[in-house]
């Protein structure tokens, strides 16, 4: 007689997605993060954003209406003169990969640089289970890191940070 494999952590029922549920999942994965609420006008509910990231990217996870949104920005600063090359790279990535969507924009800090961004979202109208949230986040993080490795391969001179090494 064979038994059905059991997950080490049982899934939850489909429930509304909240920043707190996302935070619990990131805690379970050992990923550093913080919850950040933006100031709002009197009488409005504050929108809470979950912020995390990796060495080469900052990631913001938010709920926008019926969408769970994961948006990121690459740490490198691309000169504006390289816009045609970045456009080609984004188009190439987006045609070859299901996710995340690569894009770029002019940095609003007035530095004269472009910022590469990777974006993905999922409909949460009916809620998600813990495993659905986890699968979305972990696959998105993996995709974001792969997308930025792709960009870094084309702009190695813009990688000015170093991987920390534990000796």
> Does 5 score more than 60 pLDDT?
no
Helical (H) or strand (E) element with 94: helix 83-96
Q: What is the CATH number of the domain that holds 72?
A: 3.30.1460.70
Q: Does residue 5 lie within any of the structural domains?
A: no
Averaged confidence pLDDT in the chain: 91
Q: Which domain holds residue 104?
A: 19-36+47-156
Q: Does residue 117 lie within any of the structural domains?
A: yes
Tokens describing residue 151: 């960009």
Q: Does residue 61 lie within any of the structural domains?
A: yes
Kindly indicate the confidence band of residue 27, based on its pLDDT and cuts at 50, 70 and 90.
very high
What is the pLDDT at residue 10? 77
pLDDT, tens digit (0-9, with 9 covering 90-100), for 98-142: 999 999 999 876 778 999 999 999 999 999 999 999 999 999 999
Question: Closest Cα partner for 68 from 47, 40, 91?
Answer: 47
Q: Does residue 81 lie within any of the structural domains?
A: yes
Kindly indicate the confidence band of residue 161, based on its pLDDT and cuts at 50, 70 and 90.
confident
> Does 6 score more than 70 pLDDT?
no
Q: Does residue 166 lie within any of the structural domains?
A: no
Kindly indicate the confidence band of residue 3, based on its pLDDT and cuts at 50, 70 and 90.
low
Q: Does residue 142 lie within any of the structural domains?
A: yes
- Contact of 24 with 17, CB cutoff 8 Å: no
**Residue scoring higher pLDDT (161 or 40):** 161
Q: Does residue 161 lie within any of the structural domains?
A: no
Angle in degrees, 0-180, between the axes of helices 130-154 and 19-28, rounded to the nearest 10? 70
Q: Does residue 41 lie within any of the structural domains?
A: no
Tokens describing residue 31: 């990923």
How many structural domains compose the chain?
1
% of the chain at pLDDT higher than 90? 77
What is the pLDDT at residue 165? 57
């Amino acid at each position: 007689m064979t038994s059905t494999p059991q997950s080490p952590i049982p899934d939850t029922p489909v429930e509304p997605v909240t920043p707190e549920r996302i935070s619990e999942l990131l805690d379970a994965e050992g990923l550093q993060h913080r919850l950040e609420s933006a100031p709002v006008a009197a009488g409005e509910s504050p929108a809470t954003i979950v912020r995390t990231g990796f060495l080469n990217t900052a990631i913001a996870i938010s709920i926008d209406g019926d969408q769970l949104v994961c948006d990121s920005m690459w740490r490198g600063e691309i000169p504006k003169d390289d816009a045609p090359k970045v456009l080609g790279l984004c188009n190439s990535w987006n045609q070859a990969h299901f996710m995340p969507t690569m894009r770029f924009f002019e940095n609003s800090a007035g530095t004269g640089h472009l910022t590469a961004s990777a974006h993905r979202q999922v409909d949460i109208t009916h809620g998600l289970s813990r495993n659905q949230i986890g699968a979305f986040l972990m696959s998105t993080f993996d995709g974001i890191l792969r997308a930025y490795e792709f960009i870094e391969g084309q702009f190695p001179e813009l990688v000015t940070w170093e991987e920390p090494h534990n000796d």
